[in-house]
Amino acid sequence: MTTVARHLTIHGRVQGVFYRGWAVETARELRLVGWIRNRHNGTVEAIVQGGEPAVERFIALAHEGPAGAEVERVEVREVGPSGELEVFKQERTV
């Protein structure tokens, strides 16, 4: 299976609604690695890496997010896979 990685920027009401915690749980269920963090501009940013079907599933789910989230749009950019990612984790706000 080919490993792919995507950089996501999630816009909308996505902070203060457990979006990052939901994303960690969802990514781990899909056996993905990477990270997610809030940005001071109100967006949520993530790197998601794993098998292409699982990454695409995560992206589809990211458009909905957890209950309480109001996702306006998800920007997706292809990035190169990193051998340094071992788990999916929540990072500090930047």
Q: Which residues are catalytic?
A: 20, 38
65 SS3 class: coil
For residue 27 the two structure tokens come to: 């990514």
- DSSP structure class, residue 81: -
